[in-house]
Chain A
């Protein structure tokens, strides 16, 4: 029942870890998010040091996102052109975010920035998705909501049409400047680096609401971007910080790859708005938990050095 983790220097119940991987993998397949914003705190709860939790999580997301992306690729749901622009921006933003954290760590303000970024971003994204999805579901009962969505999309397109480097993204069926996904990639990359996660839960809403991409292409493209981001993070964490616990990653990925597939199958049975409202509830739940942690005095005021 137990497995010793040579990098984390602790022992865990492997069935519990596989179950964690399954749950987070399910979210990955269902919503196209990496699940880092959930997995890292869950691993810390079972006694994994924060830095190891974050580093190893990136490794297991490589498996979960490659599994999910493979399925979406076969179904033609990956917009590679869009994914590459987002990825380039994400890599650049990630590098900037790492430097920001390095600077703030030296001045002692990193923890405050990380916590506040989490609460504000999760709160905003979760609330916006929840309200938008709820309105869409309610509206659908009386009239077709496609009309309003199309009108909103057209408005966005009008503003973006003034920018240079206009490109048509065939798979997503949208046309706008290449600078838009590039800039959004940088924005998400900076936040992802500050928050220590892959950024899927930020990228998905950005693709849905700002880029107006269809939901099925959003999930596949998000997984494509997450896969490459986490490959980079895994290597860097293993090489520079020794924070990738391979046996722990194996346990997590056993659960997550199956969870991702189950999530993808379940996703077929749910409408886009239902998926969005589910994801928004999870994101808001995590936000509430973080706010409670911030305002409630912890039982033990000491913790290991490293991590958030």
Chain B
């Protein structure tokens, strides 16, 4: 009787402990950190590698999403005019679309998480497609697969991507990702979201931020073009004239026809 009590007590304790610890373990353990967390745009900037790493439970799959805040993006669309010429016919609005969406994972996300969980957390391009609303600025939406076009447009600039297998998992726990940060990503704040999963269930998540900002001469020129527009225009003209006349003077022997 006492032996039976002791065995059932241990089992009960194990279940209770697992119920308490297992879900909480992953949520508590997951961390993420970008290095560098501040990307400085200098004159020689051409994008740079950003390392994102953190803790995760051993055996868990890891998904890393880096994105900007959703906004309404306006893009011109081309179609056939008069049945002959391809030209811009109007403007489409892509509502709730981030300007940057970079998804990386340790395994194929279709097998890692259910469609419902992916949809709730906007994980994957399918989930993103369901979130983005496409409409025409004037009149009805012209026929066409505009999300695929939008994706191709963004992927060409390397600001949208979904890559499977590029997150490295440490068997002892932890993960790391080397992301080639696209130079076309505009200055601003970007959200890093990390999700861990096991057997199709979310086991944890963590968020962090990274900042992209102009610095030095690049920032000075940008600020001047917006804050001192007249001076900026005059400087651009004067420099062009000085260089033009100076080079013309250097080539004194050069003549014309």
* Contact with A253, one of B156, B219, B240, B249 (Cβ below 8 angstroms): B240
Whether A234 pairs with B236 at a CB distance below 8 angstroms is yes
Chain A contacts with B in 278-308, Cβ cutoff 8 A:
293-305
Which residue on chain B has the smallest CB distance to residue A257?
B247
B75 surroundings in chain A (CB, below 8 A): 302-305
Taking Cβ atoms with an 8 Å cutoff, the residues of A that contact B are 2-4, 6-7, 9-11, 29, 47, 59-60, 62-72, 74-75, 77, 108, 111-112, 115, 215-216, 219-220, 231, 234-240, 242, 244, 246-247, 249-250, 253-254, 257-258, 260-262, 264-265, 267-268, 270, 272, 275, 293-305
In Å, the complex CA distance between A66 and B247 comes to 9
A305 surroundings in chain B (CB, below 8 A): 74-76, 91
In Å, the complex CA distance between A262 and B255 comes to 9
Which residue on chain B has the smallest CB distance to residue A73?
B248
How many residues of B are counted as interface, with CB atoms below 8 angstroms from the partner's CB atoms?
A: 66
Say yes or no for B222: interface residue by CB 8 A criterion.
Answer: yes
A71 surroundings in chain B (CB, below 8 A): 248, 251, 254-256
B225 surroundings in chain A (CB, below 8 A): 6-7, 238, 242, 244, 246
Whether A239 pairs with B233 at a CB distance below 8 angstroms is yes
Whether B240 pairs with A249 at a CB distance below 8 angstroms is yes
* Contact with A215, one of B152, B252, B255, B257 (Cβ below 8 angstroms): B257
In Å, the complex CA distance between A297 and B149 comes to 13
B140 surroundings in chain A (CB, below 8 A): none
- Besides A62-B244, A260-B247, A267-B257, 16 more A-B contacts (Cβ < 8 Å) are A4-B44, A4-B46, A6-B214, A6-B218, A66-B248, A67-B243, A67-B244, A72-B256, A108-B138, A238-B233, A244-B233, A254-B243, A298-B78, A300-B149, A302-B149, A305-B75
Name the prevailing secondary structure of the A interface residues.
helix
Q: Which of B16-24, B63-71, B82-90, B166-174 contacts A (4 or more CB under 8 A)?
A: B82-90
Which 7 A/B pairs are nearest by Cβ-Cβ distance?
A66-B244, A70-B248, A238-B233, A2-B46, A63-B240, A67-B244, A62-B240
Write the nearest CB–CB distance from B65 to chain A, whole angstroms: 23
Whether A3 pairs with B86 at a CB distance below 8 angstroms is no
In Å, the complex CA distance between A6 and B244 comes to 23
B226 surroundings in chain A (CB, below 8 A): 242
